[in-house]
């Protein structure tokens, strides 16, 4: 049936965005202070579909400096923290949005756990990120490295909180509206939305 829809779509000259609308979209994200969560929810509002937050078997400390120290060690030893979140239907999805904050100028270890644990081969993978203003670092490159058999599209990056300085959730009010405009532009550019 789906093949028929895609076939009809191709013969009637549907745009990529329209054919993307027929695909099954999954959004997975990691968020500690809700900025990446806010972007994930904007994406969900604009493309719909399933939204899942990654949770750990053993959460990071509440203390920021302790968390930084733990993350640095985990990166040094390539430790993959076990996930509490279990996803049993990833094979049913064609497109997977993958959202994470920058930690230590890298992809956070829990998102590495997710990409190691779940096979996204032959799927379209679309990364997004929030950070304290220093950018995504090596995060999007790591998505490509951990998804060698996926089609990885251009990622979206926006400034979020600065937990180090006590600035936590910022993607609200005016900033949320600006973020929504930016996200929509990006979704159009990568042809996930008309």
Q: Residues 81-110 vs ligand FMN: string with x where CB under 6 A?
A: --------------------xxxxx-----
The CB-of-56 to ligand FMN minimum distance in angstroms stands at 13
Binders in 48-87 for ligand FMN, by CB under 6 A: 64, 67-68, 71
> What does the DSSP assignment read for the chain?
-HHHHHHHHHHTT--HHHHHHTS-EEEEE--SSSHHHHHHHHHHHHH-SEEEE--BSSPPPSSHHHHHHHHHHHHHHT--PPBS---S-GGG-SEEEEEEE-BTTB--HHHHHHHHHS--TTSEEEEEEEESSS--TTHHHHHHHH-TTSEEPPPEEEE--BGGGTB----SHHHHHHHHHHHHHHHHHTTS--
Q: Mark the segment that binds ligand FMN (CB under 6 A) among 46-54, 88-96, 161-169, 173-181.
A: 161-169
161 binding ligand FMN? (CB under 6 A): yes
33 binding ligand FMN? (CB under 6 A): yes
8 binding ligand FMN? (CB under 6 A): no
142 binding ligand FMN? (CB under 6 A): no
The CB-of-175 to ligand FMN minimum distance in angstroms stands at 11
Per CB under 6 A, residues contacting ligand FMN are 31-37, 64, 67-68, 71, 101-105, 130-134, 160-163
């Amino acid at each position: 049936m789906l093949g028929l829809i895609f076939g009809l779509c191709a013969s009637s000259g549907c745009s990529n965005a329209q054919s993307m609308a027929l695909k099954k979209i999954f959004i997975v994200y990691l968020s500690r202070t809700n900025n990446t969560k806010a972007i994930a929810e904007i994406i969900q509002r604009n493309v719909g579909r399933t939204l899942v937050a990654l949770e750990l078997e053993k959460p990071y400390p509440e203390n920021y400096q302790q968390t930084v120290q733990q993350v640095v060690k985990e990166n040094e030893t390539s430790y993959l923290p076990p996930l509490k979140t279990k996803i049993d239907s990833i094979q049913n999805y064609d497109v997977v949005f993958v959202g994470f904050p920058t930690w230590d100028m890298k992809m956070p270890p829990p998102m590495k756990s997710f990409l190691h644990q779940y096979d996204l081969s032959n799927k379209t993978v679309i990364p997004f990120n929030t950070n304290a203003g220093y950018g995504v670092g090596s995060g999007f490159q790591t998505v490509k490295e951990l998804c060698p058999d996926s089609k990885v599209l251009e990622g979206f990056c926006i400034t979020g909180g600065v937990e180090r300085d006590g600035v936590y959730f910022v993607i609200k009010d005016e900033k949320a509206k600006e973020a929504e405009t930016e996200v929509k532009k990006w979704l159009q550019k990568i042809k996930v939305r008309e």
